[in-house]
Structure 1
Amino acid sequence: MRRQILMASAAFSLASASAAFAQAVSPAEADSIQQKLTRYLPQDMIEAGLVTVKAATSFYELRFNPAVLLEKNTSRAVTVEGLKPMTAYLRPMPEGTYRVEASDSFDIKGSVDVAPGKNSFSYIIASMKLDGIYDPDILYFTSADWTAEKIAFTSTSPQESITASFGGMAMRLAAEKKGEGILDISSTGVMKAFAETITGGANGRIDIGADTVDIDVSMDGARNRVVQDLVFFVLDNMHKDRLEAADAARLKDLLRGALPVFDNLTETIKASNVTVGTEQGTFGAESVSYVIDMNGIAHSTRVGFGFGVEKPRPPAGILPAAFAEAVPERATFKAAVANLDLAGAVNYLIDHADFTRSEPLTEEQNKEIGRIILPGGAMTVQFEEVSAVSPIYDVHLAGNMLVYPEQKDRHSAEVTLTMRNFDKTVAYLQKNAATVPQFGQAAFGLLMMKGLARDAGGGAQAWDVKVGEDGKVLINGQPLPFQQ
C-alpha cells in the first residue's frame, strides 16, 4: 500500500505538465516533468535516479526507485530486502489531463536494530493496480480506481509481534470542480477479510477480525488552489531561518485566502462482523462504526465525532445470567465540540505575527490565540445522539454542556433524557433484585424518577435536566426537593 501511495504522490506532483503541451510526448517534456517532480529532492538523490521520467511513443514512464533511499542511509541499523523500482505510465489525454496506469506487486522484509532489541518487519501485496485520470490543473485525480489483493504485514520485536492481512482492497477517488480553485473531493473503498493478531505484552494474545471495512470520506468546498500555493510556498522557504518582509506578507495573504480551507469534511468507517478474541473469550458485533465531521476553519467551527455498535456479542458465560438480557442490541455515541473560533485565531495570527522573526508571536500573543479559540473561556460540548436500546430499555440523551478548561470546577449543562419501555426496565430490575441487590436500588430510583418525568408521547417519559454553574439541578423546570 505504501508503494501505491508513493505512486499517487508522484502523479500528484505533476504540476508543471502544461495542458497546452500535454498531447505531445517528447523527451523535452519528460525532462520538464522530471525536473518538477525532483524539485525538492537533494541533488545526490536526483543523480542516483530516485525519480526518473522517460518518453515513449504515446506515454511517459515514471519510475520511482526506493532502493536509492536505502543506499543513502549510512546507518547500519536498518536493513531492507526486496526493494525494486515502481513504474507508472502517464498517457496524455486530449483535454490536457493524464491517464495514470500502474500494476505491480510488493514483497519486502527487513529489520531495525535499535534498543531494546532488533525489530523485524515484512510487507506483501500480491498485486495492485491503479487506473485514473489526473488533472494537472488541480494537482489531483478527477477519478481513479485502486485495487490490491492479498495484503499482509508482520512486525516482530522482543516485546510483541503483530501480523495483519486483508484479502483484498478497492478504493475510488473523485474530484469535481465547483468553482475557481474549489473542489469537492470524495474517496470510497472497502477492505475485505481483515485479520490481525497481537501476541505478547500485558494482554497476552489478541485476535481481531472483520469481514469487511467500508470507508467513505468526502470534503466539500476544498480551497484547492490557494492551499496548493501555500504548500509550495512552504516547500520553497522551509530551508530559511526566517522570511524576508515581502515573503512574510505573501504568507499572510495565502493564509487569509485559504480560509475556511473547506466547507465540510466527513469520514465514516464501518467494520462488519467484527470479532475480538482474548484470553477471556471472543467478543463480537454485527458492526462497529466510527464517524468524524467538521465544517472548516470558521468563526463557529464544529468538530463532531462518534461511534456505534450493532448487536454486540460477549463471550458465552462471561456475564451472569441476570446481566445477559441487559446487553444492548445497539448503542450510539455522537458528540461534537462546537463554537470554536478557529478563524478568529487564524486572523489574529495573521494580524499580529511577525514571520521575519524566529519567534513570530510573543508568549502573551500565543495565549491570546488560545483565548480566542474558546470564546469566554468556554468549550461547548454537544451530545447529539447518545443512546442504548435493548428489549428491556430504550434510552436516549441529547443536549449541551459548557466546560471551562481553565476553571476546573466551572461547568453547566442542559440535557434531555428520554426513556421508552420504562415499565419493562423496572420489571427486569425487580425480577433480578434477589440475585443482584443493586438492581433493587436502581428500580427504586427509577420509580422516583418517574414521578418527576413529563409525558413525551408515544409511551415515553422525558426529563429536561438543567445543571447550573452553582451546582443546582432543575428537572423539567422544578428544583430537586433537597435543593429547595
Structure 2
Amino acid sequence: MRFKLITATCLLALGLFTTADAVEINQDGANAVRDNLAKLLSKELAKSGLVTVNPAGTRYEIIYDLAKLFARADPATTAINGSTSFSTFATPLENGLWDIKGDDSLDMSVRFIGPDRKQGEFSLSLESFAYGGVFDPAINFLRSSTYAAKKISLSSKFAAKETSFSFADANYSSNFADSAGGNGRVDLVGNGSTSGFFERISDPGMPPVEIRADSIDVGLKANAVPLAKLIDTYVFVMEHDDEEEYSRETHHRVKELLTQIMPLFSSFNETVGLDNPTVTSQAGLVRAKTFGYDLAVDGSADAVRFGFGVNAQEISLDSSLVPASYSALLPTSLNAKLAVPNMNFAAFGDLYVTLDFDKPTPEGFGEKGMQKLFPDGEVTIDVPKVNVRSDIYDFDISGEIKGRVDGAEQYSMEATILARDLDKTITALQGLAKTDPDLSQVSFGLMMAKGFAKTDPDGRSRWDISIGRGGSVVVNGQVIKAADQP
C-alpha cells in the first residue's frame, strides 16, 4: 500500500486551499495556491520547483515533478530518466468545497553514485493511477477520496542490496466525518485492496527472500482525529525546519500545538488480510491459505488498551531443515489475541511536553516516561485467546501476566490451558518417537501433565496454572512448587 501513501501525501498538499465560494481562477490565485502548498515542504524543496500551479480554465492544475526531489544532487553522479511528473486538478464548487481529480502515470528511474563511490538505483513505475475526492477547507483535507492504480512497481539497489515489490493493481477509498464530540475532530474510515503482490529482498549477507500474496485487504478506522490541528502542527514545524535552535517563542508554540493534538484519536482499528501468502527463502517455503492481523487501540487517554491479534489458516512448511518426524508438530492454524491495558498516555504526554527540544534528553527520562505510561511501573499482558492446532494437537491458552517496567525479574501469571483429544496427541507422539527417540521426552512430559489435568464437560483436559511473584507454582489447586525463601 505504499502507492496509497505516495498519493495521499501529494493530496495532503491541497490542505491550504481557502473556501471555494466565488473563487476566480487566474494566475494570481495560482501563485497563492503554490505559495500555500510550499508551506508543506522544506524550504529547500519549496524553492526547487517541486510544485507548480497553473490556471486551467475553470480549475487549477497542480503539477508535481518528482525529479525536483533530487535538485541538489550532483549531475555528474546522478541521472534521472523517464516521466517524473503528474498533475492534480482542483475545481471550486458552489458549496465552498473543491473537487479534486487526477489521472496519470509514472515511469521514472534514478541512478546515482554514493559518497563511497558505490552505485545505486531507484525506480518507480505506475502504468496508471487515478484518484478523486472532495476537499473541505474546514478540516484542511479530503472529506472523501478514491484511488486506483494498475501495474505498480518500486525497486531500489545499492551496494549489492536489492529490494523490489510490485502490485497488479491497488484500490483505496477513505471518508472523514465530523466526530460526535465536535472540537474540529473527525472520524476516519478507510478501505483498500491490492492483487498480485510480490516483494523480493536480497543482501550479500542473506540469501534472497520472496514474499507473494494473491491479494491483500486493508481496513482502517480512527475516531476523533484532530486532523486540522495535525496539519497546522506540521506546517509550523516545516516553517522552522532550518532553525538550528528554536527561540523561546517557537519552543512554546510547538509545545502548545502538541498539547492541542493530544490525544491523537479516541480509538483506532486496523485489519490486514492476505490470501494465499507464501514466503520463499533458502530455508524453504512457508505458505498459508489466509493470514491476517488486527490492531485495536481504545479507552480514555489515562487508561488506553492496546490489542493485537494474528491468525493464519492451512499453514504448511516445506523445508529440508525440519526433520520429517517433526513436521506433524508444526501448527496448521493459529489464532492469537494479546492486549496491554491501562496505559496512561495522558500522563506520558504531559511529561513529554516538559522537554526542552533544544537540549539533550535528560538522563533517566525514558525510565520516568515508562513509569508514567504504566501506573506504578506495573505492566499487564492479557491473553484473551490463543488457539494453535495441528494434525495431532489442539490447544487453547488464555490468561494474564503481570510484571514491572523496571526490569525486576518478579512476575505473576494466571493461565488456563485446554487440550482437546490429549490421548490422541500422546499416542501420535509415541509413534513418532519410534523413529526419533528425542520425542519420547515430549510424550513422557505430556503423560505427566495429564496426571495433573482436570476434565471439562466437553472432554477437554484443563490446567489452571498460577505462578506467584514469590516463585510459587500451583496447578489445578495442587502446589507444585512453594514460594522461594527470602
* TM-score calculated relative to the size of structure 2: 0.88
Q: Which residue of 1 aligns with 2:477?
A: 477
Q: Which residue of 2 aligns with 1:59?
A: 59
> 1:320 deviation in Å?
4.4
Distance change (3 Å), C-alpha of 1:478 and 1:116: farther
Distance change (3 Å), C-alpha of 1:24 and 1:421: farther
Q: Does 1:269 align with 2:264?
A: no
Q: Does 1:323 align with 2:326?
A: yes
Q: Does 1:165 align with 2:162?
A: no
**Structure 1 spans left out of the alignment, 5+ residues:** none
> 1:254 deviation in Å?
3.4
Distance 2:90 2:409 in 1: 61
Distance 2:410 2:204 in 1: 40
Alignment of 1:185-224 (within 5 A): 185-199=188-202, 201-224=204-227
Distance change (3 Å), C-alpha of 1:224 and 1:46: closer
1:262–1:297 Cα contact (<8 Å) kept: no
> 1:199 deviation in Å?
4.5
1:265–1:295 Cα contact (<8 Å) kept: yes
Q: Which residue of 1 aligns with 2:108?
A: 108
Q: Which residue of 2 aligns with 1:457?
A: 457
**Aligned letter for 1:175?**
F
Distance change (3 Å), C-alpha of 1:3 and 1:435: closer
Q: Which residue of 2 aligns with 1:148?
A: 149
Let me know the Cα RMSD of the aligned residues.
3.0
**Aligned letter for 1:234?**
V
Question: 3-state SS of the aligned residue for 1:323?
Answer: helix
Distance 1:335 1:244 in 2: 44
Deviations 1:426-463 (A, max 9, x none): 22122222122233332232232223223333112222
Q: Which residue of 1 aligns with 2:70?
A: 70
Distance change (3 Å), C-alpha of 1:206 and 1:339: same
Q: Which residue of 1 aligns with 2:175?
A: 174
> 1:296 deviation in Å?
7.1
Question: 3-state SS of the aligned residue for 1:72?
Answer: coil
Distance change (3 Å), C-alpha of 1:407 and 1:2: closer
Moved more, 20-29 or 334-343: 20-29
Distance 2:419 2:359 in 1: 55
1:288–1:310 Cα contact (<8 Å) kept: yes
Alignment of 1:209-248 (within 5 A): 209-240=212-243, 248=251
**Aligned letter for 1:176?**
A
Distance change (3 Å), C-alpha of 1:107 and 1:374: same
Deviations 1:273-299 (A, max 9, x none): 122233454331112223222237822
Q: Does 1:305 align with 2:303?
A: no
2:295–2:308 Cα contact (<8 Å) kept: yes
> 1:149 deviation in Å?
0.8
2:86–2:106 Cα contact (<8 Å) kept: no
Deviations 1:136-174 (A, max 9, x none): 211222221111111223333443434432111111122
**Aligned letter for 2:183?**
E
Question: 3-state SS of the aligned residue for 1:218?
Answer: strand
Q: Does 1:254 align with 2:257?
A: yes
1:22–1:97 Cα contact (<8 Å) kept: no
Distance change (3 Å), C-alpha of 1:16 and 1:418: same
Deviations 1:336-378 (A, max 9, x none): 333222211212344x4467xx338744666433321232223
Q: Which residue of 1 aligns with 2:373?
A: 373
Alignment of 1:402-421 (within 5 A): 402-421=402-421
Question: 3-state SS of the aligned residue for 2:277?
Answer: strand
1:3–1:86 Cα contact (<8 Å) kept: no
Moved more, 199-208 or 165-174: 199-208
Distance change (3 Å), C-alpha of 1:156 and 1:93: same
2:187–2:223 Cα contact (<8 Å) kept: yes
2:39–2:239 Cα contact (<8 Å) kept: no
2:79–2:111 Cα contact (<8 Å) kept: yes
1:213–1:271 Cα contact (<8 Å) kept: yes
Question: 3-state SS of the aligned residue for 2:265?
Answer: coil
1:97–1:136 Cα contact (<8 Å) kept: yes
Distance 2:464 2:399 in 1: 9
Distance 2:286 2:4 in 1: 34
1:187–1:216 Cα contact (<8 Å) kept: yes
1:7–1:88 Cα contact (<8 Å) kept: no
1:210–1:275 Cα contact (<8 Å) kept: yes
1:260–1:297 Cα contact (<8 Å) kept: no
Distance change (3 Å), C-alpha of 1:377 and 1:321: same
**Aligned letter for 1:469?**
R
Distance change (3 Å), C-alpha of 1:368 and 1:30: same
> 1:391 deviation in Å?
3.7
Q: Which residue of 2 aligns with 1:130?
A: 131
Q: Which residue of 2 aligns with 1:121?
A: 122
Q: Which residue of 1 aligns with 2:335?
A: 332
> 1:324 deviation in Å?
3.5
Distance change (3 Å), C-alpha of 1:457 and 1:242: farther
Deviations 1:205-234 (A, max 9, x none): 433221111111221221224333333333
Question: 3-state SS of the aligned residue for 1:437?
Answer: coil
Distance change (3 Å), C-alpha of 1:36 and 1:268: same
Distance 2:428 2:314 in 1: 20
Deviations 1:32-71 (A, max 9, x none): 2222111355677556532122222221111112233333
Q: Which residue of 2 aligns with 1:390?
A: 390
Distance 2:292 2:135 in 1: 32
Distance 1:44 1:119 in 2: 23
Distance change (3 Å), C-alpha of 1:427 and 1:361: closer
Q: Which residue of 2 aligns with 1:85?
A: 85
Q: Does 1:344 align with 2:336?
A: no
* TM-score calculated relative to the size of structure 1: 0.88
Distance 2:251 2:135 in 1: 32
Distance change (3 Å), C-alpha of 1:50 and 1:258: closer
Q: Which residue of 2 aligns with 1:422?
A: 422
> 1:239 deviation in Å?
4.3
Distance change (3 Å), C-alpha of 1:3 and 1:463: closer
**Aligned letter for 1:393?**
Y
Distance 1:475 1:452 in 2: 7
Q: Which residue of 2 aligns with 1:446?
A: 446
Question: 3-state SS of the aligned residue for 2:314?
Answer: strand
1:11–1:134 Cα contact (<8 Å) kept: no
**Aligned letter for 2:220?**
V
Distance 1:339 1:68 in 2: 47
Distance change (3 Å), C-alpha of 1:159 and 1:26: closer
Question: 3-state SS of the aligned residue for 1:446?
Answer: helix
